[in-house]
Amino acid sequence: MTDTTQTPKKGQDFESALDKSDKNVAAFERKSKGMVDGLQHLLHLNPTLVPVMVLVASVLIFSLPMVTDGKFMTMFNLSLVMQQVSIIGILAAAQSLIILTAGIDLSVGALMIFSAVVMGLLGVNLGVPTFISLIAGFVVAIGGGLMNGLFVTRVKLPPFIVTLGTWYIFLSILRLLTGSQSIRSQDIDAEAAALKIFGSYISIGSARITFGVILMIVVFAVLWYFLNKTAWGRHVYAIGDDKEAAELAGIKTDRTLLTVYMAAGAVVGVAAWASIGRVGSISPNAFAEANLQSITAVVIGGISLFGGRGSILGPLFGALIVGIFESGLRLAGLDVQWQVFAIGWLIILAVAIDQWIRKVSA
């Protein structure tokens, strides 16, 4: 809107001076804006560049012979890292959906165990057909998401509080159901082997690609499609960006939010099934830190905790960064606590960068 081409006869008197006015828009000297500014703009357009750069850098450093003695950069080790991050990766995908809407889900880990326990109790202990027990597990996961979503949209409670509450609720129910007893691996094999299908693998050279790893990639690909290529995805971003504006612009925000929570629940169900294959048994006490780890992967992956920004692929890289640090530092002979130390700094750095790139404008 820079050119002002009105005729003198319309407009206010004082505006007639506009005809002779300087038509340039206020601009600062571009000279002072150097690389830092260019970087800020670049990251504003592609927030996922940060995790990608960290991922590439960490892979390169851990591949150096003097660091890990060549033990890191092997097909076997890299495929092992993929296996290790697969469950947290899938959970992080679910978490991303919630965080993109400017929410947070503290209950994903507990809901995953809850769903896995239901699959196991029905399929193994009660001898229900595996197919039915899987459906029941998914009903629990989607129902849990729906419950969170209803409290957020209908009762208008903050997602943090809702999911803190349901985290306790899901944990207590699953412990009551199992009596805190694990379901043993050999029992699963005997009664419902299909529950462990995602632990199976195909070997390519020394690499072991489990079905769980493939599943994780499929989950991210599907979510990427929905978030980037459909109207639903646009609405998810718009709601996270500014819910009130989205509502006024004609999005049914509460209905969309409800579908987001249910979709996250469905992804949690996928994670539950995959976790049985990954661990082998079903333990009510497994994945105690999964909630926080999923949030960690999302934040390191460059999705803004304030919603509306970031790519769904970021958390995949975020989860991989965590796995690579763990593997690399262990192979380098360092205490694993250094990995925890490094992840702590990465989280702070990631949020600091998010704040910084938000300030870019014009």
Partner 1 sequence: MTQPIIKARGLVKRYGRVTALNQADFDLMPGEILAVIGDNGAGKSSLIKAISGAVQIDEGSIELDGKPINFRTPLDARNAGIETVYQTLALSPALSIVDNMFVGREIRKQGIMGKYFKMLDNKEMARIAREKLNDLGLMTIQNINQAVETLSGGQRQGISVARAAAFGSKVIILDEPTAALGVKESRKVLELIQEVRSRGIPIVLISHNMPHVFEVADRIHVHRLGSRLCVIDPKDHSMSDAVAYMTGAKVPDQVEMA
Q: How far is the CB of 35 from partner 1 (least distance, A)?
A: 19
| Burial per residue of 316-350, b for 16 or more beta-carbon CB atoms within 10 angstroms, e otherwise | bbbbbbbbbbbbbbbbbeeeeeebeebbeebbeeb
* Size of residue set near partner 1 by CB under 8 A: 39
Residues 211-230 touching partner 1, rule: CB under 8 A, are: 225, 229-230
Task: Answer yes or no: are the C-beta atoms of 212 and 278 closer than 8 Å.
Answer: yes
Structure tokens at 46: 């592609």
**Closest distance to partner 1 from the beta carbon of 251 (Å):** 5
CB of 59 to partner 1, least distance (A): 30
Q: Give the x-and-dash track for 82-111 against partner 1 (CB under 8 A).
A: ------------------------------
CA 187 to chain centre: 33
Task: With CA atoms as reference, report the closest residue to 311 among 227, 218, 188.
Answer: 227
Beta carbon of residue 158, minimum distance to partner 1 (angstroms, whole number): 21
According to the binding rule CB under 8 A, does residue 351 interact with partner 1? no
**Residues 2-41 within binding reach of partner 1 (CB under 8 A):** 2-4, 6, 10-12, 14-15, 18, 21, 25
Q: How far apart are CA 67 and CA 53, in angstroms?
A: 19
Site string for partner 1, 148-167 (x = CB under 8 A): --------------------
Task: Candidates 231, 292, 336, 348: give the one binding partner 1 (CB under 8 A).
Answer: 231
> Distance between CA 113 and CA 318 in Å, rounded?
22
For residues 74 and 139, what is the distance between their CA atoms, to the nearest angstrom? 40
Nearer to partner 1 among residue 238 and residue 322 (C-beta): 238
In order of 54, 124, 135, 194, 250, the CA distances from 129 in angstroms are 45, 9, 10, 10, 45
* CA nearest to 102, candidates 266, 318, 298: 298
Of 102 and 110, which has the nearer Cβ to partner 1? 102
The residue from 57, 190, 248, 352 that contacts partner 1 (CB under 8 A) is 248
Contact residues for partner 1 (CB under 8 A)?
A: 1-4, 6, 10-12, 14-15, 18, 21, 25, 44, 225, 229-232, 234-235, 237-238, 241-242, 244-252, 308-309, 360-362
